[in-house]
């Protein structure tokens, strides 16, 4: 298994079924349906879940596609109500990553999903960092946090969040992100311009969800308005030759998640996904899971599917692994060590 990084994975999308069941029991919360079908996308047709209306004590996770999925995350993350529970989820994330050969992760956390922590977002970051600290001490995957805004938030809310991050400097928060449904929120680059420029001035890296449910214009906005270091998804850049050339010329990496794009209906199947065309065009591409638990996948499994579908050989996968490390927000020393480890695995006979 090749050592690698993962740069586009949401903590909200890594809760295993056992995590959810334990949290629900601890909090006396009812499940939104039978435990056996919570993550059953074949039953729910790409997260199209029946609306649940049972008197207000049981959350509805209804809706279709990405919007319905985001509502499910709201319910799930609402089960995390104590510092200990948050730390446990973070530790479990690092263990899951390690099992897929992931040595480093930029994990995206969007506090708007964690409704028990509204107004206490920094405390949530600190609780998660405690779990990640323990995981690293135990030899598991190193992980840092990309604090994510939601597209529907206001410019003022975004600016306040960044000012608080810059003032408090919570442990392991290394980047600012923005996620959510592009199609329903419309173009938000201009709205968040001030917040992202403030984050840049404060030394935070920037990663932006764009070019997923909307077209290439979202990627243009991420580059022009938000000074993105990396684009999460970005796959619809392939529809704009000028944009593809800019991504190549400016060496902007994409955090691509083929299974997510297919499951949520952006592309019909893996074969029609533009991943190989982006690679052939010279774009820096990394392979990621996005939300592995509800998508019922792991990173090593998705790499195997990509290899089988697109004919990637071991040398190609080594290049993907190296790109994932270079595109990450790990510090330079860790990147150097991980690249050296990868080189030793890729060519065991090479001099160290």
Question: Annotated catalytic residue: which of 6, 126, 212, 323?
Answer: 212
Residue 211 three-state SS: coil
Report the 10 Å Cβ neighbour count for 305. 15
* 212 catalytic per annotation: yes
Q: What order of strands is seen across the sheet that includes strand 173-179?
A: 4-10, 102-109, 142-150, 173-179, 205-210, 230-233, 254-256, 285-287
- How far apart (Å, rounded) are the C-alpha atoms in residues 239 and 147? 29
Candidates 65, 10, 63, 66; CA nearest to 32 is 63
DSSP run (H or E) holding 89: helix 83-99
Q: Which residues are registered as beta bridge partners of 290?
A: 9
For residue 145, report the phi and psi dihedrals to the nearest 5 degrees.
-110, 135
Candidates 6, 4, 2; CA nearest to 232 is 6
Dihedral, CA of residue 32, residue 86, residue 17 and residue 235, to nearest 10: 90
Report the 10 Å Cβ neighbour count for 235. 26
- How far apart (Å, rounded) are the C-alpha atoms in residues 262 and 273? 8
Active site residues: 212
């Amino acid at each position: 298994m090749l050592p690698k990084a993962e740069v586009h994975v949401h903590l909200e999308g890594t809760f295993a079924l056992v995590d959810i069941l334990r949290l629900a029991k601890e909090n006396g919360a009812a499940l939104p349906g039978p435990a056996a079908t919570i993550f059953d996308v074949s039953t729910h047709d790409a997260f199209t879940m029946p609306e649940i209306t049972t008197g207000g004590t049981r959350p509805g996770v209804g809706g279709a596609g990405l919007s319905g999925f985001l509502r499910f995350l709201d319910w799930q993350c609402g089960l995390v109500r104590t510092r200990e529970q948050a730390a446990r989820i973070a530790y479990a994330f690092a263990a899951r990553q390690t099992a897929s050969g992931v040595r480093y992760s930029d994990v995206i956390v969007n506090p708007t999903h964690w409704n028990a922590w509204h107004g206490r977002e920094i405390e949530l970051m600190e609780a998660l960092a405690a779990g990640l600290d323990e995981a690293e001490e135990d030899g598991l995957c190193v992980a840092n946090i990309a604090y994510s805004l939601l597209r529907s938030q206001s410019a003022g809310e975004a600016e306040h969040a960044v000012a608080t991050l810059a003032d408090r400097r919570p442990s392991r928060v290394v980047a600012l992100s923005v996620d959510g449904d592009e199609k329903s929120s419309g173009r938000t680059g201009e709205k968040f311009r001030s917040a992202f420029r403030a984050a840049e001035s404060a030394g935070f890296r920037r990663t932006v969800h764009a070019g997923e449910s909307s077209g290439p214009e979202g990627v243009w906005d991420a580059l022009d308005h938000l000074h993105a270091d990396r684009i999460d998804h970005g796959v619809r850049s392939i529809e704009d030759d000028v944009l593809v050339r800019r991504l190549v010329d400016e060496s902007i990496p994409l955090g691509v998640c083929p299974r997510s794009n297919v499951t949520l209906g952006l592309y019909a199947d893996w074969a029609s996904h533009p991943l190989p065309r982006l690679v052939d065009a010279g774009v820096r591409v990394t392979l990621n899971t996005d939300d592995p638990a509800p998508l019922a996948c792991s990173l090593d499994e998705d790499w195997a599917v990509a290899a089988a579908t697109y004919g990637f050989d071991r040398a190609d996968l080594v290049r993907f692994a190296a790109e994932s490390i270079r595109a990450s927000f790990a510090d330079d020393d860790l990147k150097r060590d991980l690249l050296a480890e990868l080189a030793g695995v890729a060519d065991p006979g090479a001099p160290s």
